[in-house]
């Protein structure tokens, strides 16, 4: 075993694991960190990796030989060769000097691996004032999630003429991942997608809807792509889509869902208004 849990656990201010992203606090164990080191050798997806659903090869891996693990801080670098390549160093530690050390390591490893981007990811606890970056939300399904009704249904349940408007919607919302989602839908490589229509055209969507076991075997609703056309916001469609997705997740046996939202963005405001629990933040900076 590489990691000492008595060193690592005290500096895990937010439940974020390199290459995996947020995990449920109950699943945040030393075994998960050991698993990502083993996956770096084999190149395989972990069975509970949310990206496993997309198939292919895992794009990001831990640079296990460059991990820094000390009693008061831990630095875990990852490499992703997609595009022009990125090194990220996840900085776990309560002192600002940890971030400085992480930045130096990121720059060094970017040069060694001949990639363009060098970044530092710092997980921060939920008690932080004026946070920046992304917020980690937890939605559990211990309370009833009713079907909101309204103009939301699975996209395949809309009339064909309405379904055909999804393609231009996805193109317009490509920055939110909808174009990528559309390619997966066309290849039948993802679960159902819920869509909201207004005046016979798709103006909002959330999906894919999929439930898979986490690291300790509990079913989780996997994160979705979620977007509403800017000109259609303010009609309650985003809230209707969200609630329909939560109803779907609960109906299909999920125990919880984890989400990351840009602080202050529409999805972040919605999650806060819906009463989700904040587990902390991630702040990513260029090294």
Give the helix/strand (H/E) hosting 239. Answer: helix 237-251
pTM above 0.75, yes or no: yes
At 76-110, the pLDDT tens digits run 999 999 999 999 999 999 898 999 999 999 999 99
Measured CA angle at 136 (ends 132, 138), to 5 deg: 155
- For residues 168, 174, 178, 180, the Cα torsion angle rounded to the nearest 10 degrees is 110
Q: What's the token pair of residue 236? A: 């309650």
Least confident of 147-151, 201-205, 237-241: 147-151
Contacts by 49-54, CB closer than 8 A, 24 or more apart: 49/19, 49/20, 50/20, 50/21, 50/212, 50/222, 50/223, 52/212, 53/190, 53/208, 53/210, 53/212, 53/222, 54/184, 54/189
Measured CA angle at 31 (ends 30, 33), to 5 deg: 65
Nearest to 106 by CA among 262, 277, 287, 283: 287
d(CA 22, CA 278) in angstroms, rounded, equals 12
> What is the arithmetic mean of pLDDT over 35-43?
94
Nearest to 196 by CA among 147, 150, 156, 231: 150
Q: What's the token pair of residue 147? A: 């079907």
Mean pLDDT over the full length of the chain:
95
With cut-offs at 50, 70 and 90, classify the pLDDT of residue 49: very high
> What is the arithmetic mean of pLDDT over 235-255?
96
The ranges assigned to domains in the chain are 5-127, 142-254
Q: What's the token pair of residue 143? A: 């309370």
Q: How crowded is the C-beta side of 111, counted as CA atoms within 13 Å?
A: 6
Nearest to 46 by CA among 75, 17, 81: 17
Architecture (CATH level 2) of domain 142-254: 3-Layer(aba) Sandwich (3.40)
Q: What's the token pair of residue 53? A: 């659903």
At 132-170, the pLDDT tens digits run 999 999 999 999 999 998 899 999 999 999 999 999 999
What is the structure's pLDDT at 232? Answer: 94
Nearest to 123 by CA among 25, 193, 233, 48: 25
- How many Cβ atoms sit within 10 Å of the Cβ of residue 268? 19
- How many Cβ atoms sit within 10 Å of the Cβ of residue 161? 9
What is the structure's pLDDT at 57? Answer: 85
At 54-76, the pLDDT tens digits run 888 899 999 999 999 999 999 99
């Amino acid at each position: 075993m590489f990691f000492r849990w008595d060193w690592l656990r005290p500096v895990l201010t937010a439940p974020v694991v390199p290459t995996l992203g947020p995990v449920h606090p109950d699943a945040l164990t030393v075994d998960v960190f050991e698993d990502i080191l083993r996956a770096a050798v084999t190149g395989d997806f972990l069975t509970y990796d949310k990206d496993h659903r997309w198939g292919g090869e895992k794009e990001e891996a831990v640079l296990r030989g460059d991990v820094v693990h000390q009693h008061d801080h831990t630095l875990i670098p990852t490499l992703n060769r997609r595009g022009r390549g990125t090194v990220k160093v996840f900085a776990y530690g309560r002192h600002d000097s940890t971030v400085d050390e992480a930045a130096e390591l990121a720059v060094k490893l970017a040069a060694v691996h001949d990639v363009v981007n060098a970044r530092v990811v710092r997980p921060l606890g939920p008690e932080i004032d004026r946070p920046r970056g992304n917020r980690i939300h937890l939605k559990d399904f211990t309370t009833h999630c009713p079907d909101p009704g309204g103009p939301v249904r699975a996209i395949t349940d809309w009339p064909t003429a309405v379904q055909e408007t999804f393609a231009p919607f996805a193109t317009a919302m490509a920055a939110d991942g909808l174009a990528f989602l559309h390619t997966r839908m066309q290849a039948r490589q993802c679960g159902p997608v819920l869509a909201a229509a207004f005046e016979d055209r798709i103006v909002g969507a959330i999906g894919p809807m999929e439930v898979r076991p986490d690291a300790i075997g509990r079913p989780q609703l996997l994160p979705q792509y979620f977007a509403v056309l800017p000109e259609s916001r303010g009609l309650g469609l985003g809230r209707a889509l969200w609630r329909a997705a939560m109803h779907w997740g609960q109906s299909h046996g999920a125990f919880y869902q984890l989400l990351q939202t840009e602080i202050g963005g529409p999805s972040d405001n919605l999650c806060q208004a819906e009463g989700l629990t904040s587990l902390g933040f991630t702040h990513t900076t260029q090294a």
